[in-house]
Amino acid sequence: MLTITDIMTTTVQVIDRLATVADAIVQMQTHGVRSLIVDRPSPEMPYGVLTERDVVYKVFARNLEPARVIVQDIMRQPCIAVEPHMTLREAALLMSDAGIQRAPVIKDGELLGIVSVTDLVMKGYVASTVLPS
C-alpha cells in the first residue's frame, strides 16, 4: 500500500516567520510554488504554512502593502501535518476534514517534505498503476 513517503516532495521551501510577505511572494515566484513552510523559532514550536490564498485574502483583499506585513501575522499555525507512514487515504481524509490543499510531512518534529492534494491524486494514481499492490 502506498504511503506519503512514496509520493511526497522532499524539496520544501521554508521561510522565516519574520520575513515580509513581499519576500514570501518573491520566494514563491522564484521557486514556482504556491506555499511556503514557515520555520519555527524553536524545536518545541510548531511549523506554520503560508499559501497564496493567505496572501490574497489577508493582504491584497485588505489593501495592505506586502512589504509592511510580516509572515507570522498571516500564516496558519499550527499547521495540519501528515506523517510519512500514513496511507494516501488517511492523508486525504485528514486534509479534506481540515479543508487544506497542502500539508507538511513531519516525523518526530522534523520536516521531511510536503504533500498536496494534487500529489495525492496524480502521483498516487500513477504509482498505483506502476507499483504492485
Q: Note down pLDDT in tens along the chain; length 133 residues.
A: 889 999 999 999 999 999 999 999 999 999 999 999 999 988 888 899 999 999 999 999 999 999 999 999 999 888 899 999 999 989 999 999 999 999 999 999 999 999 999 999 887 655 555 555 5
Q: What is the DSSP letter of 111?
A: E
Domain count, the chain: 1
Res 127: pLDDT: 54
Single-letter amino acid, residue 54: D
Res 106: pLDDT: 95
Residues 6+ apart with CB under 8 A from 114: 8, 9, 12, 35, 37, 102, 103, 104, 105
Res 129: pLDDT: 53
Res 97: pLDDT: 93
Report pTM.
Answer: 0.85
Expressed as residue numbers, the domain containing 85 is 4-130
Task: Report whether 40 contacts 104 (CB < 8 A).
Answer: no
Res 41: pLDDT: 87
- Contacts by 15-18 with C-beta closer than 8 Å and gap 24+? 15/39, 15/50, 15/71, 16/71, 17/41, 17/48, 17/70, 17/71, 17/72, 17/75, 18/70, 18/71, 18/72
Q: What is the CATH number of the domain that holds 29?
A: 3.10.580.10
